[in-house]
Amino acid sequence: QVPFSLVGALHGVHLFGAAAGAELREVATPTAHLAWAAYGNSITLIALSPAHGPAGHALARILDSAFGAMVRLPVTPS
């Protein structure tokens, strides 16, 4: 379990870094992995995984898939 206060503090570091031109993509704690992905200038997704779960590139792929599912345009029949 990752306390909400820790996730909030890490997200604050992410936002502060982004305002300064730095990019925080992932963090590992003793109990979890967190990853951020920004899409455009308005959507930021956060993934949280247990320490023994997926990390790094796998979390980035999960975030990309979630974003793709959110913005997927409907296919119209021809």
For residue 40, being part of any structural domain is answered with: yes
Boundaries of domain holding 48: 25-72
Residuewise pLDDT in 10s, the chain (78 residues): 778 888 888 888 888 988 898 888 888 888 888 899 988 878 889 998 888 877 888 999 999 999 988 887 666 665
For residue 11, being part of any structural domain is answered with: no
For residue 6, being part of any structural domain is answered with: no
Number of domains comprising the chain: 1
Report the alpha-carbon distance of residue 48 to residue 46 in Å, rounded: 7
For residue 19, being part of any structural domain is answered with: no
For residue 3, being part of any structural domain is answered with: no
For residue 2, being part of any structural domain is answered with: no
For residue 10, being part of any structural domain is answered with: no
For residue 35, being part of any structural domain is answered with: yes
Report the alpha-carbon distance of residue 37 to residue 71 in Å, rounded: 15
